[in-house]
Amino acid sequence: QSVLTQPPSVSGAPGQRVTISCTGSTSNIGAGFDVHWYQQVPGTAPKLLIHGNNNRPSGVPDRFSGSKSGTSASLAITGLLPEDEGDYYCQSYDTSLSALYVFGTGTRVTVL
């Protein structure tokens, strides 16, 4: 059972903007810990997309952006492209009795 909750799926037409929420609690995001985001194309390993709430590694397009507020975070994808289809996971640090490094439940992005 993940302590970070994401919607199971979001979808949008090419060129549209979609957002993915990541809801945590006062033991993780709400305690001030950063949120990181990963993209996983089916059948491949996760790939780092955003680190430290809104920092893109080299090579990640600026169509991807992150934000954090209170006990939640969001990933926005603008100008949606077919290659953006896949699963997206948030990750943070948790101070409860669960795993120290926790992932979200994952969101499947579908490009219509």
Partner 1 sequence: QVQLHESGPRLVKPSETLSLTCTISGGSISSYYWTWIRQTPGKGLEWIGYVYSLGGTNYNPSLNSRVTISVDASKNQFSLNLKSVTAADTAVYYCARAIDYGEYYFDTWGLGTLVTVSS
Q: Does 103 bind partner 1 (CB under 8 A)?
A: yes
Distance from chain centroid for Cα 83 = 16
The footprint of partner 1 on residues 59-98 (CB under 8 A) is 89, 91, 93, 97-98
Q: Does 33 bind partner 1 (CB under 8 A)?
A: yes
CB 111, CB 14: distance < 8 Å: yes
Pick 80 or 88: Cβ nearer partner 1 = 88
The footprint of partner 1 on residues 40-59 (CB under 8 A) is 44-48, 51-52, 57
Rounded Cα distance, 80 and 97, in Å: 38
Q: Of 65, 74, 82, nearest to 11 (Cα)?
A: 82
Residue in 10, 38, 75, 86 binding partner 1, rule: CB under 8 A: 38
Q: Which residues pair with 47 in a beta bridge?
A: 39
Q: Of 83, 1, 75, nearest to 38 (Cα)?
A: 75
Please work out the total of residues on this chain that contact partner 1, with binding judged by CB under 8 A: 27
Binding site for partner 1 (CB under 8 A): 1-2, 33-34, 36, 38, 44-48, 51-52, 57, 89, 91, 93, 97-106
